[in-house]
Structure 1
Amino acid sequence: MLAASAVGFLLLLLNLSVQHEAVMDNLVRMRQARMAGVGLLQATIDAETGQRGYLLTNDEEYLAPLASGRIAARARLSELRERAGASGELEPQLVRVAALTEDALGALERTIELKRSGRLRAAALRVELDRAKASMDPLRTEISGVLRQIERISESGRARERSTRGAIYWIGGLLGALTVLAVGLTLWALGLERRSWRGALEALTRANEAAERAAEMAAASDLAKTRFLAVASHDMRQPLHALTLYLSALERRVQGEEARDILSRMERATQSMVGMFATLLDLARIQANAVKPEIEICALDDIIARVVDNHADGAVEAATTGLYVSSDPVLLERLLRNLVANAVKHGGGKARIEMRKAGDVAEIAVADDGPGIPPEERERVFEEFVRLDKSGGVEGLGLGLAIVKRIADILRMPLELQSAPGQGARFIVRPPLAMAQTRAPSAPTPPGLMPLTGVPVLVMDDDPLAREAVSGALRDLGAVVQACANESGVRAALTAGARPRLMVMDLRIDGQLQGIEIARRARAELDPPPAIIMITGDTGPETLEALRASAFKWLIKPVDPRDLSEAASASLKATISA
């Protein structure tokens, strides 16, 4: 009798265990479904933020969160349907969520297409924004409803889990009473297992919640970086741009030796600030994955020559090689500039660039005769804000080598450090070799700068401080300058009879990158067509590609007066030759 009861209780215990496992599996699925629902909600917010940012600023960098949000939304929707679909009561809501998701994403994409095609006028912008929001609100409401239903199902499952667990313990106690010591030991082991399992489940719950918080923080961080780059690339360059030009204008007006010495120190401090700002912006753009390599065949000697020319008084030694490499010339030059600047700072003011062919790669080494780097510090030198020289006698943020490492990773190019204490350091990169390209000989350029005395120049910039600074710099060069804020001002000047030989135009006017088109329209009305110089603080890859395609001279803010003078001279010479 007792044996039959024990067997019956044992079978009942096994049945309850199977039920308990099924309940736990359903709880895990509901938890995963909740995470997918939260992820879908966040993805729709990211997509809408990218759409609104692009419509309001016309800055295509906002399309990145739109694209990633759209992809993430569809992925999270698929995961939500997979995890929650087993519950039949959720199926109607999941169908509505899927339909609303496609409708909302389609509405966002339609506004982007309208904006790109030029059919979305300013007057209709708010209407389209409200319409897109109206398509998003029902989706978010439906997702919130699904999450509440998932929580209700989960709460019911937890109640069933507690009930089955209590029944299991009760029957286990009876079996323990019947089987005395043997079953008692079995229940003791089972109790240990259950406590361990509950601890693991609680730890998994905490880990899932922490992962959700981390994902939300990462999404917010990515959006913040995108916004920072959009602002820093233009607005934060404006005051530095004006300050550089005003300091140069002041230098031409100061006579006293003491005052000129103070002004020289101010210029050095400003250039140091400009350099640090550019370095920070470079690092931010790289960390935000806003830098994409544009691989082409380029002459290594041309890149090295530009790097050497950046350092006066023979501080950098380099030989010619005639080698061609397959790489992004802008990123490769930036990498080598940072390596050379690091070598000059820490190598007693001197650096060497050594190049040779090594199989199918070009081996480029930047070497110095400085104090060297201890073995234990060789990995740290590539970290952000690490400076081995703690004396304070060397300027910098400790970011140059960190940027070098990240550019090398972007270019998929090996980076090697050879150094020993007291024996200097050699940083080696190895871009792949390419076949030499036959280049047409360039037309001879007349020596010297072409004077701007009496040359009529039209300046366009919607920032009053920058407009006046550029105009003042050109007037100091002898030009006759007329300044305006936008295309309406340009049109008024031409209508009044202005016939500029040179037009210096800011790329971003009234919040949009329309300077190139304004310049083309104005140039088409003039005979002979004037030379064009574009000035920009936007350094995104699409912007730089548009500037290169325009065939106009262009300068990046903050603009040095010497660079402005050289660009103006070269542009005027080009129009005379044409």
Structure 2
Amino acid sequence: MVSRPHLPEDRMLVEQLRLQLGNIGSSVIPTILLALLLVWVISNDSNAFAMRAWCGITILFKLYLAWDARRLLASEISPERARRLLRRKMVINAIDGATWGSLAWAALGTTTVAGSVLVVAVLAGVAGSSMSSLAPILPVFIVFGAAELVVLGAKLWLMGDPAYDALAVAAVLYTAALLGQARNASRAARRAIGLRFENLELIERLRVETEHAQAAHRAADEANLAKSRFLAAASHDLRQPIHAQGLFLEVLARSQLSADQHDALANARATWQASAEMLDTLLDFSRIEAGVVEPQMQVFPLQPLLNKIENELAPQADAKGIVYRSRETHAAVRSDPALVALILRNLVSNAIRYTEQGGVLVACRARGEQVLLEVWDTGIGIEPAQHQAIFREFHQLGNAERDRRKGLGLGLAIAQGLARALGQPLSLVSTPGRGSVFRVALPAARAGVVAEGAADAMPGPSRAFDLRVLVIDDDESVRTGMRQLLGAWGCVCDLADSIEEAQALARAHRPALVISDYRLRELRTGAEAIAALRAEYGADLPALLITGDTAPQRLREARATGVPLLHKPVLPSQLHRAMSAVLMGRELDSSFAGLEARRA
């Protein structure tokens, strides 16, 4: 049983005094009316002066007690002052008790038997009511009751009548009974005061803990924002040289090279591809955070998608000596094929990464109006306590050394975010040491018509362009790489590093296509550059935006322009396809443009 903390005695006394002082005001009017009633009923020729004197003293004293109580309650009662006030209260209430007891000296023996009974009844009632009002501080009631009893008892004893003697004894017994009740009431008052202080302390502690929790939550939000800003800035700064590197590697691949040079180029492109994929993973996560993922729903068969994922990832399983299998299916679903492909790719990559023996199975099962797309593995499994944590960004199991070969810890966070964007739940069942199964529920297609190429939009054969392209980018290496790559495709390039220079070049030679970086110098954007050029040459001027930004706000801003958006580093094949699309007036999905091609 938990014991309550002991309240300091001085602090308790302060509250007892305030409680007792607060009871005085309610007794003023009843006291005045009672005193006047007694004078009117009991007063006669033999006791008129004594009764009137008693009535005046009683009323004045009660008024003084009420005024003094109000004054004390209006001021602050400190623990040091409380002891002095207690002694003062005991003196004042002793006088008050004696004043009430003196009623017997003014009335008994000079009034009728009925009057005497009334006097004794009144004094008993006053003692009882004082018990309830003075009980919060037991010593104060004791001195009040003792003073009243002594004065009353002395009068009864001196009257020399056995009946009055018995009445005096009864008064003593009655007062003793009141003292017992007063002691219980005092204890109850102390407990109530103690509980009130405990509640106040609990409320204060809760307030402090709430403030601490809110401060910690704010700090966590600020840290998360700082993390996002850092990742966005770092990602942007890394994307610029990697994007330029990809352009130069593509140009180099078209050159005459020896066998050794081809091998070195292949290694360089593999290294570039690995860096680009890590940056793309950050970009995918940033897109989800920014809320710019807009599913493009259509009916498509799952089997071509399963074949594509198997062709892409089965070699990774073979390299680890584990089995990769996907069951044949004739199921078709209504969803976004690019997003479903990315979800499945992340789930399969995660399964291969954490499986050392056995294998990975990808299967589909019809369940009513849904198709369950499942990824089974015989990997390390996941403890129940980690089932929620593994979907947090950058959370990885068994990778304390942050081995980059094990990814960034974003795959499952991306998969869950995309499933949420699709409105289709992603679930997990896992047994530690035996493996896991991830399931995403997709709506089964009611129609058998499937969009051509929906599940696998591979780039067509490259064709040469014969047009003038205006490239706007504030990075010289990117401009140089774009000039060489576009020149190899038969384009004539004009290069600008600012909006003003772009406008000057466009006036000299009208471009057939504008390709602009989104973030330019002096806090200006490629969207502004394209808008300025379209104001001069028409709203139908074909244009592309390319950005290395991954900050959610920047992604939303770029998305809002309505200009097709590509993300650095851009694969040459992706750029070629995007150019073809905008030149032919086709719409390019700017939320996940080229997502599949970049990973193909």
Tell me how far 1:449 sits from its aligned partner.
Answer: 0.6
Q: Distance in 1 between matches of 2:573 and 2:459?
A: 18
Q: 1:256 to 1:475 in 2, by over 3 A?
A: same
User: For the Cα contact (< 8 Å) 1:450–1:572, is it kept in 2?
Assistant: no
Tell me how far 1:495 sits from its aligned partner.
Answer: 1.8
What one-letter code is carried by the residue in structure 2 that aligns with 1:172? I
Tell me how far 1:387 sits from its aligned partner.
Answer: 1.5
Counterpart of 2:437? 426
What one-letter code is carried by the residue in structure 1 that aligns with 2:369? D
After TM superposition, the score normalised by the length of structure 2 is 0.54
What one-letter code is carried by the residue in structure 1 that aligns with 2:441? R
Counterpart of 1:397? 408
Q: Distance in 2 between matches of 1:541 and 1:376?
A: 34
Please state if 1:239 is matched with 2:247.
no
What one-letter code is carried by the residue in structure 2 that aligns with 1:359? G
**Aligned to 1:489, which of 488, 501, 517?**
501
User: For the Cα contact (< 8 Å) 1:507–1:515, is it kept in 2?
Assistant: yes
What one-letter code is carried by the residue in structure 1 that aligns with 2:473? D
SS at match of 1:563: helix
After TM superposition, the score normalised by the length of structure 1 is 0.56
Please state if 1:458 is matched with 2:503.
no
Counterpart of 2:346? 338
Tell me how far 1:448 sits from its aligned partner.
Answer: 0.9
Please state if 1:532 is matched with 2:543.
yes
> How do residues 58-457 of structure 1 correspond to structure 2 at under 5 angstroms?
159=76, 172-175=137-140, 177=142, 183-184=182-183, 187-188=186-187, 190-216=189-215, 218-219=217-218, 222=221, 225=224, 229=228, 232-233=231-232, 236-246=235-245, 249-250=248-249, 253=252, 268=270, 271-280=273-282, 290-291=290-291, 294=294, 297-301=297-301, 305=305, 308=308, 312=312, 317=326, 321=330, 323-325=332-334, 332-347=340-355, 352-368=361-377, 370=379, 372-373=381-382, 378=387, 381-384=390-393, 385-388=395-398, 394-409=405-420, 412-420=423-431, 424-433=435-444, 436=447, 447-452=460-465, 455-457=467-469
Q: Distance in 1 between matches of 2:494 and 2:520?
A: 17
Q: 1:377 to 1:285 in 2, by over 3 A?
A: same
* Partner deviation per Cα, 1:235-256 (whole Å, 9 max, x = no partner): 7424323224325525765968
User: For the Cα contact (< 8 Å) 1:175–1:183, is it kept in 2?
Assistant: no
Tell me how far 1:340 sits from its aligned partner.
Answer: 2.5
Q: 1:570 to 1:296 in 2, by over 3 A?
A: closer
User: Once the two structures are aligned, what percentage of the paired residues are identical?
Assistant: 26
Q: Distance in 2 between matches of 1:432 and 1:499?
A: 49
Q: Distance in 2 between matches of 1:559 and 1:340?
A: 25
User: For the Cα contact (< 8 Å) 2:474–2:520, is it kept in 1?
Assistant: yes
**Structure 1: gaps of 5 or more residues:** 1-9, 20-155
User: For the Cα contact (< 8 Å) 1:338–1:404, is it kept in 2?
Assistant: yes
What one-letter code is carried by the residue in structure 2 that aligns with 1:323? A
* Partner deviation per Cα, 1:191-241 (whole Å, 9 max, x = no partner): 455345324423422332342354355456546655765675477424323
In terms of mean alpha carbon deviation, does 487-496 or 379-388 score higher? 379-388
What one-letter code is carried by the residue in structure 2 that aligns with 1:448? P
Please state if 1:563 is matched with 2:574.
yes
SS at match of 2:505: helix
What one-letter code is carried by the residue in structure 1 that aligns with 2:505? A
Greater gyration radius: 2
Q: Distance in 2 between matches of 1:231 and 1:499?
A: 39
User: For the Cα contact (< 8 Å) 1:461–1:485, is it kept in 2?
Assistant: yes
SS at match of 2:412: helix
Tell me how far 1:431 sits from its aligned partner.
Answer: 3.4
User: For the Cα contact (< 8 Å) 2:527–2:561, is it kept in 1?
Assistant: no
Q: 1:217 to 1:279 in 2, by over 3 A?
A: farther
**Aligned to 2:530, which of 519, 527, 535?**
519
What one-letter code is carried by the residue in structure 2 that aligns with 1:397? L
In terms of mean alpha carbon deviation, does 237-246 or 258-267 score higher? 258-267
Q: 1:237 to 1:393 in 2, by over 3 A?
A: closer
Q: 1:17 to 1:318 in 2, by over 3 A?
A: farther
User: For the Cα contact (< 8 Å) 2:332–2:444, is it kept in 1?
Assistant: yes
User: For the Cα contact (< 8 Å) 1:362–1:433, is it kept in 2?
Assistant: yes
**Structure 2: gaps of 5 or more residues:** 1-15, 26-72, 90-135, 144-177, 316-323, 587-600
Q: 1:228 to 1:436 in 2, by over 3 A?
A: farther
